Chains A and B, each alone.
Chain A
Amino acid sequence: MIRPIRAELRGSSARTIAVLLFVVAGLFTAGMVRTWWHQWLMFGYVEASLMFLVVPLALAGGTTLGRREKRTRAAELMASTGRPLWQRVTPVMSALGVAVAAAHLLLVGVCAALIGATGGWLGAAGFPSVLVDTALLVGAVWAGFALGRRWSSALLPPALAAAALAAQYAASAAHQPTPLVNLSLMVQFQQFPWEGPTAAAELGRLALAAGLIVGGALLASAASWRRHGAAAAALAAGVAGLLLIPPPTDSRRYQIEPSAQALTCAAGIPQVCVTAVHAYALPGIVPQARRALAALAKLPNAPTRAAEFQPPAVGDGSSDQFQGNAPRTDPSTVRFLLQPDWRTGADPHLADDIAFGAGTRWNGCAQDDEAARAAAGAWLLGTDELHVFDGTFDYWASVGHQATAILRTLRKQPEQEQLRRVTALRDAANRCAKELTPILTGQPREAS
């Protein structure tokens, strides 16, 4: 068996198909480098979404190879040989599967090496999705191969690719969140880079992969109608698995990977910690974080440690998801959200984020009265402006005017009074108080 497989690898279009899939997937992966640079789990999202385009192409590629016997009219000679059909198709299907899997794993390997070499986190959590997608590609080429053997029209490859693409597109455009939405292999991206796909999401895709693999193998070796029926049943089961196993809404697609969210800390005091997926950025941000900690240390009972905010739940895209009425304060630790540049990992506004509201931005409270919080932060850092972002929106653009006025009022006070007011603001913010401006500007203190 090994000699025919090697002959097929040399002389059939299996290698061409694998190279084509590699190039297409590679181009798209390269185009989305900003998303996955340094980030292994984000790469998993990119690669899973690529399947939307690559699986139809794989179907078409498999079909061109399947038509080979009828197109070259070698079927006549093959029909006079004795081996049963399943043995006859095994070398070419093995060669095809090996070539396509190798190409995909090569792409993943290259990107994983890039991520690892630049200091990104590479955990076990990202590997199942890679393997599932590889199986999906193998299933797609096998299913295409089987269909090409059955119908050897030249129009079948593009028609099959177009149909697969159109079906996914139509599914993704469905109005309600029905299970049909899962038919589209393009997935929503995760809000935070420590979120990985849940088992249900992966199992759905794995079901489709298994259905394609089994269905393709059965159909390619089918000499009887029973086998045809079994192949159709396997494929239907796979599609059903894809539609029904994962939840129909993208937001439940992800879960927090503990090892990705675990903190790693820099040496020295005060301690500065980031999540494992941002470890590459740690050396760059330590000076800023320590500068902010030193600014916070002006207040009594200041935190002695800065750590990246570790959300307790999967992000849903709303800006006030982790802000409610119940403070989650640990007085010794101030939290911050790192928004590193995709390439350098630098976050020039980290100190501002830590100083905002005198170290209360990520204490679990709703961030009302941003003007006062910004003023307090600017006072601590000794600057006149404070730039804190919600995504790409800079709060200073909307509250800067007000904050500047509050800051001017505050700075007119004697030193001790300024210190007392800012401390009071911090303590009030830690109790989820709503009105913070009166504390800084000297209006009657709110009883809360």
Chain B
Amino acid sequence: MTPTIHARDVETSGLRVKAGRHLAVDGLDLSLGAGVHGLLGPNGAGKTTLIRALATVVRPAGGTLRLFGHDATRGRDLRGVRGRLGYLPQHFGYYPRFTVRDYVEYVAWLREMPATAIPAATQRAIERVHLADRADAKLKSLSGGMLRRAGIAQAIVNEPPLLLLDEPTVGLDPEQRVEFRALLRELGGGSCVLVSTHLVEDVVAACSDIVLLDRGGLVFQGGPADLTRLGESGVGVGDSPAERGYSHLLRQHRGRS
């Protein structure tokens, strides 16, 4: 893998992406580099569609999208980019009778990791999500939280420079969420991680940067400290400063448009 000199891992300009017939992402300008970026927003804001576009699953309808400096709007020539991706979809689809190890190795192979490196990388990924004791259990026998962790394992197995996680903490208990946040911080050191979630506390605790979307457009991009500061000044609705800052920003944005 030759290192390429490029500005940022993810660069979009006027990005438009359709979900079915509805234009879910409408004119988004985004620039993401290394670090953990939290993607927040109400339902229907276009978070999942944005992540799917970045994962090259869905082709943008307009605008530019550059991943690692490559143009990712066309379907061709995405092989190199996809090998450097990790993706956990909102609905994690898996083959039920595969074991955890088999499935993570399978995805590692699909991500074109060198064959000799796969077993060790799989073991490491499984250990990082604390599933080592269930590594040889069939996926269908896992509970919801374990399944989600298996999904995270397959997303990180190839140590991707761009990691896209859509609702990764669904089904995790509080202790597992804390462990997951530690994992995120560790991953954010070297890669660009984009985490889409509803859980504001997760975002504040683990992310270095927050991207707030509403109705396909960018509302706010900044640090969690900015959000909390906004919430501490008494505006907005919520049970924590971050939630109050979040609701205030949304209301402001909707009031303006």
Contacts and interface: CB of A to CB of B under 8 A. Distances in A.
A78 B110 contact: yes
Interface string A1-13: 1011001001111
Nearest to A82: B82
Contacts of B111: 81-82
B109 A68 contact: no
A62 to B, nearest CB: 16
B109 A3 contact: yes
A81 B93 contact: no
Interface string B137-174: 01000000000000000100000000000000000000
Interface residues of B, number: 35
Q: Interface residues of A: mostly helix, strand, loop or mixed? A: helix
Classify the interface of chain B: helix, strand, loop or mixed: mixed
B102 A7 contact: yes
B95 A81 contact: no
B96 A82 contact: no
A68 B57 contact: no
A7 B82 contact: no
B220 interface: no
B98 to A, nearest CB: 4
Interface string B99-126: 1001101110111100100100000000
B93 A12 contact: no
A10 B101 CA distance: 12
Q: Give the interface centre of A7, A72, A88 by most chain B CB atoms within 10 Å.
A: A7
Interface stretch (B28-36, B84-92, B187-195, B233-241): B84-92
Contacts of A72: 93-96
Contacts of B154: 77
Interface stretch (B73-81, B201-209, B243-251): B73-81
A73 B91 contact: yes
B102 A77 contact: no
B97 interface: yes
Contact of A76 (B93, B102, B105): B93
B97 A80 contact: no
A79 B95 contact: no
B196 interface: no
Nearest to B79: A82
Interface in A1-41: 1, 3-4, 7, 10-13
Given A7-B105, A76-B89, A88-B110, A81 B96 contact: no
A3 to B, nearest CB: 6
A75 interface: yes
Contacts of A80: 55-57, 82, 85, 87
Interface string B36-74: 000000000000000010011100000000000000000
Nearest to B94: A74
Contacts of B112: 82-83
B83 A82 contact: yes
Given A77-B92, A79-B57, A12 B109 contact: no
Given A11-B99, A76-B91, A77-B93, A83 B110 contact: yes
A69 B96 CA distance: 11
B86 to A, nearest CB: 9
Nearest to B86: A80
Nearest to A7: B102
B88 to A, nearest CB: 8
Contacts of B87: 77, 80
Contacts of B110: 78, 81-83, 88
Interface in A74-127: 74-84, 88, 91
Contact of B102 (A10, A73, A74, A88): A10
A74 B106 contact: no
A325 to B, nearest CB: 70
Contact of B95 (A3, A11, A84): A11
A215 to B, nearest CB: 25
A16 B214 CA distance: 48
B95 A68 contact: yes
Contacts of A78: 110
Contact of A82 (B80, B103, B138): B80
Contacts of B138: 11
Contacts of A4: 105-106, 109
Interface of A: 1, 3-4, 7, 10-13, 68-69, 72-84, 88, 91
Interface of B: 52, 55-57, 78-83, 85, 87, 89, 91-99, 102-103, 105-107, 109-112, 115, 118, 138, 154
8 contacts: A7-B102, A11-B102, A12-B98, A69-B93, A72-B95, A74-B93, A80-B87, A82-B80
10 interchain residue pairs of minimum CB distance:
A82-B82, A74-B93, A11-B98, A73-B93, A81-B110, A7-B102, A80-B55, A82-B79, A80-B87, A11-B97
